[in-house]
Amino acid sequence: MNIAVAQSGGPTCAINASLVGVFREALKTPEIDAVFGSVNGIEGIIKDELVNLKSIITTNEDMELLRQTPSTVLGSCRRKLDENDEETFERIMTCFEKHRIAAFFYIGGNDSMDTVEKLSRYVKKAGKDIKIIGIPKTIDNDLPVTDHTPGFGSAAKYVAATVQEIIRDCSVYSIESVTIIEIMGRNAGWLTASTCVLKANGEEAPHLIYLPEGDFDIERFLEDVRAEQAKHMAVVVAVSEGVTIPEDQLEGSYQNGVTDNFGHKYLSGIGKALETIVRDRIGCKVRSIELNVMQRCSSHICSKTDIDEAEQIGSYAVRAALAGETGKTMVFRRISDIPYVVKIESVDTALVANKEKSLPQAG
Amino acid sequence: MNIAVAQSGGPTCAINASLVGVFREALKTPEIDAVFGSVNGIEGIIKDELVNLKSIITTNEDMELLRQTPSTVLGSCRRKLDENDEETFERIMTCFEKHRIAAFFYIGGNDSMDTVEKLSRYVKKAGKDIKIIGIPKTIDNDLPVTDHTPGFGSAAKYVAATVQEIIRDCSVYSIESVTIIEIMGRNAGWLTASTCVLKANGEEAPHLIYLPEGDFDIERFLEDVRAEQAKHMAVVVAVSEGVTIPEDQLEGSYQNGVTDNFGHKYLSGIGKALETIVRDRIGCKVRSIELNVMQRCSSHICSKTDIDEAEQIGSYAVRAALAGETGKTMVFRRISDIPYVVKIESVDTALVANKEKSLPQAG
């Protein structure tokens, strides 16, 4: 039998480690012959653009290097399957059968789990014996069921370390300043909340943290900043990209400043918008910093635990398929906090696909 | 005798290492009693705000930690001394004499060397025996005479490593895209040029590099981008913050986009301006990334050579003062490329102050 693996959605530092996990486990499994990599996610299957991974990844050094390379070596896509588009599903089945693919592994986030779900349903309906397994990844940590997602740990490490360095950087002058750091995470505050680990190191900053899970109000924000300015010369604010300014509070300038320059309306412009608000309303020195794609690709400071787990969850996916599972997504279950222990399990993909896990409210 | 040390200008990863160099050398020198740190550069001397470093830095571990901490632990300033402002010079002399300071070490860039120059002239004129020594630092690498500046190596390492990771990140989708990375360096292209080391690693990107040393032209830029798009799906552009669009080529929108949101007219907005130009004129997916202050504070990826050299040049400064030198700036002289060997020397500060070293033209 042959297997195929693909990567989808936004890049992370750990997504290639999961690919290595699938590949290494396949090497150890005598019944698996070829391991195909699908180019650009599910599109490679649809277009029959596959690469034979055994001819590309030939040494342990290749695997070690790939494990630590950010982004998706096989390319990615943002394609969502349409269940009414019978032709596409037929092309997928044709590709699977042509290459005798008995199991397909899809490494991705919420949207990719939707593909796993639809594909496994189609395969069952068609009466074929092809296992479809999802392997989670996203720096946003917003997948339900799983304790956390591969890729989040490295992103959180980058964010926390970099914010601590920025705190040093912005505290050198003896004038009032506000530094606003915009952090990824889409509609979930997990990554921004990771700056809280600095408190455990004795840092007072970031003095203010805004997450998409709460309501944002410009006047309250300005009050918050002024209150911190009474205590600190250099105020540091961490804000999630998903924080939105209520429509009725938007004056033309803030809105323009954001939409003109940043594509998506606010999803990657809240830092710059808050910078403009502070400059206009408080008038002190202010700078906004977007941690940008560095949050998801800074392998030079990746988390070893994250990379190891990402590889492991990939290899467990292969075992699950060999054990006969399909329509499943691999997840971490937390066994113990101290010492940190997680177990890898599989759950029905329907429990994960198209759902978002927000940061829970306190209490 | 006592000595004093201060830090000035923009933060780097190596400026605290130079402080440690001064401090460690002083510890080894029996004739030096107290080592004072001046709070916020020369302002600490003017206002008599000094800290006794021996009571703060008490262990080797303190020194090791400080060596690897970004930014300026003593704070910084951007104050330029005015030679007609006799009162300020008198306050400086009063502080020096009150604390029996026989040597003052100023760690900083071009502007700080101006302070060293003026101060040493004043001291000589006043017939006092106080040694004034400059210790270079700047990520911009734009100081003349010295082979390179402490802080540049770490910044260049951060920039090259991060740009290589961004190249991976932006190459995953099968659609045309342009990624524009804005890199610091003020009016000098050294830091942006450090992305060229990636070519030695076999990277084709960044496909286009724009430095402030050359003339920029919007139409030529668009031609360059289109030519690269004919060869690459994901085009990566590295641009120095100091690159300016000629006034007569600026349409309202680019100018507004930059000035509204980024404070300084273009000095930290060229990336966003080029993003707007590509979106308007080419219309493909485009993203601009500012590496921002992370370039000067990412100690987590600092260069060991840079940190070691920064400490060394600090300790050599103390030796120079003890040998009777004053009005000098410490510099690196390159002895050999392979193996890499530099020698630390001192030169007249007048040769360094208020001058900028650009990247030389080829040939």
The tens digit of pLDDT for each residue in A143-164 reads 999 999 999 999 999 999 999 9
- What pLDDT score does B263 carry? 38
Using pLDDT thresholds of 50, 70 and 90, give the confidence band for residue A254: low
- What pLDDT score does B342 carry? 98
The partner residue sitting opposite B162, judged by closest CB among A71, A168, A294, is: A294
Q: Could you write out the three-class secondary structure of chain B?
A: CEEEEEECCCCCCCHHHHHHHHHHHHHCCCCCCCEEEECCCHHHHHCCCEEEHHHHCCCHHHHHHHHCCCCCCCCCCCCCCCCCCHHHHHHHHHHHHHCCEEEEEEEECHHHHHHHHHHHHHHHHCCCCCEEEEEECCCCCCCCCCCCCCCHHHHHHHHHHHHHHHHHHCCCCCCCEEEEEEECCCCCCHHHHHHHHHHHCCCCCCCEEECCCCCCCHHHHHHHHHHHHCCCCEEEEEEECCCCCCHHHCCHHHHHHHHHHHCCCCCCCHHHHHHHHHHHHCCCEEEEEECCCHHHHCHHHCCHHHHHHHHHHHHHHHHHHHCCCCCEEEEEEEEECCCCEEEEEEEEHHHCCCCCCCCCCCC
In the predicted model, is pLDDT for residue B251 greater than 70?
A: no
Mean predicted confidence (pLDDT) in B8-22: 97
Q: Which residues have C-beta within 8 Å of that of residue A305, sequence separation ≥ 6?
A: A153, A340
Q: How far is B272 from chain A (nearest CA, A)?
A: 7
Using the beta-carbon criterion (under 8 Å), do B70 and A169 form an inter-chain contact? yes
Q: How far is B125 from chain A (nearest CA, A)?
A: 31
Handedness of CA B122, B125, B130, B136 (dihedral sign): positive
Lowest-pLDDT range of A172-176, B129-133, B345-349: A172-176
Using the beta-carbon criterion (under 8 Å), do A173 and B300 form an inter-chain contact? no
Using the beta-carbon criterion (under 8 Å), do A298 and B165 form an inter-chain contact? yes
Using the beta-carbon criterion (under 8 Å), do A294 and B293 form an inter-chain contact? no
Mean predicted confidence (pLDDT) in A330-344: 98
Using the beta-carbon criterion (under 8 Å), do A290 and B290 form an inter-chain contact? yes
pLDDT in tens, A295-330: 999 999 999 999 999 999 999 999 999 999 999 999
How far apart, in whole angstroms, are the C-alpha atoms of residue A81 and residue A116?
10
Q: Are strands A328-336 and A341-348 parallel, antiparallel or unpaired?
A: antiparallel
The CATH classification number of A2-151+302-351 equals: 3.40.50.450
Residues of chain B with C-beta less than 8 angstroms from the C-beta of A300: 161-162, 165, 301
Q: Which CATH architecture has domain B176-283?
A: 3-Layer(aba) Sandwich (3.40)
Helix (H) or strand (E) holding A103: strand A101-108
In the predicted model, is pLDDT for residue B254 greater than 70?
A: no
Using the beta-carbon criterion (under 8 Å), do A170 and B293 form an inter-chain contact? yes
Q: Which residues pair with B261 in a beta bridge?
A: none
Say if CB A203 and CB A163 are below 8 A apart.
Answer: no
In the predicted model, is pLDDT for residue A266 greater than 50?
A: no
With a pLDDT cut of 90, the percent of chain A lying above it is 87
Say if CB B53 and CB B36 are below 8 A apart.
Answer: yes
Q: Are strands B234-240 and B177-183 parallel, antiparallel or unpaired?
A: parallel
Using pLDDT thresholds of 50, 70 and 90, give the confidence band for residue A260: very low
Q: How far is B257 from chain A (nearest CA, A)?
A: 7
Residues of chain A with C-beta less than 8 angstroms from the C-beta of B11: 168-169, 172
Query: For B171, which residue in chain A has the nearest alpha carbon?
Result: A75
Q: Which residues have C-beta within 8 Å of that of residue B124, sequence separation ≥ 6?
A: B326, B327
How far apart, in whole angstroms, are the C-alpha atoms of residue A128 and residue A30?
22
pLDDT in tens, A268-302: 489 988 998 999 999 999 999 999 999 999 999 99
Mean predicted confidence (pLDDT) in B304-316: 98
pLDDT in tens, A159-204: 999 999 999 999 998 899 999 999 999 999 999 999 999 998 899 9
- What pLDDT score does A264 carry? 38
Using pLDDT thresholds of 50, 70 and 90, give the confidence band for residue B78: confident
- What pLDDT score does A267 carry? 43
A interface mutation test: which of B42, B65, B169 has the most A CBs within 10 A? B169
Using the beta-carbon criterion (under 8 Å), do B169 and A260 form an inter-chain contact? no
- What pLDDT score does A269 carry? 85
- What pLDDT score does A252 carry? 52
User: Is A337 a catalytic site residue?
Assistant: no
How far apart, in whole angstroms, are the C-alpha atoms of residue A117 and residue B54?
65
Mean predicted confidence (pLDDT) in B307-323: 98
- What pLDDT score does B268 carry? 43
Count A/B contacts: CB-CB distance under 8 Å: 120
The partner residue sitting opposite B276, judged by closest CB among A78, A261, A287, is: A261
Q: How far is B138 from chain A (nearest CA, A)?
A: 14
Q: Where are the domains of chain A?
A: 2-151+302-351, 176-283
Helix (H) or strand (E) holding A2: strand A2-7
| CA dist list (Å): A42 to A143, A318, B315 | 20, 18, 59
The first and second tokens of residue B114, run together, are: 């101006």
User: Which one from A111, A140, A142, A306 is the annotated catalytic residue?
Assistant: A140
Lowest-pLDDT range of A52-56, A75-79, A295-299: A75-79
Using pLDDT thresholds of 50, 70 and 90, give the confidence band for residue A112: very high
In the predicted model, is pLDDT for residue B103 greater than 80?
A: yes
Query: For B287, which residue in chain A has the nearest alpha carbon?
Result: A262
Query: For B274, which residue in chain A has the nearest alpha carbon?
Result: A261
**Mean pLDDT over all residues of chain A?**
93
pLDDT in tens, A130-142: 999 999 999 999 9
Interface residues on A facing B, Cβ-Cβ cutoff 8 A: 11, 40, 43, 69-72, 75-78, 161-162, 165-166, 168-174, 253, 257, 260-261, 272, 275-276, 287, 289-294, 296-301
Residues of chain A with C-beta less than 8 angstroms from the C-beta of B77: 173-174
Topology alike, domains B2-151+302-351 and B176-283: yes
Mean predicted confidence (pLDDT) in B275-284: 93
Whether the predicted model's global pTM rises above the 0.90 cut: yes
B interface mutation test: which of A298, A299, A303 has the most B CBs within 10 A? A298
With a pLDDT cut of 90, the percent of chain B lying above it is 87
The first and second tokens of residue A118, run together, are: 């639809």
The first and second tokens of residue A158, run together, are: 């980058």
Using the beta-carbon criterion (under 8 Å), do A165 and B297 form an inter-chain contact? yes
Interface residues on B facing A, Cβ-Cβ cutoff 8 A: 11, 40, 43, 69-72, 75-78, 161-162, 165-166, 168-174, 253, 257, 260-261, 272, 275-276, 287, 289-294, 296-301
SS3 A234: strand
How would DSSP label each residue in A31-53? T---EEEETTTHHHHHTT-EEEH
User: Which one from B111, B114, B140, B142 is the annotated catalytic residue?
Assistant: B140
How far apart, in whole angstroms, are the C-alpha atoms of residue A193 and residue A200?
13
| ipTM for the predicted complex | 0.94
- What pLDDT score does A110 carry? 87
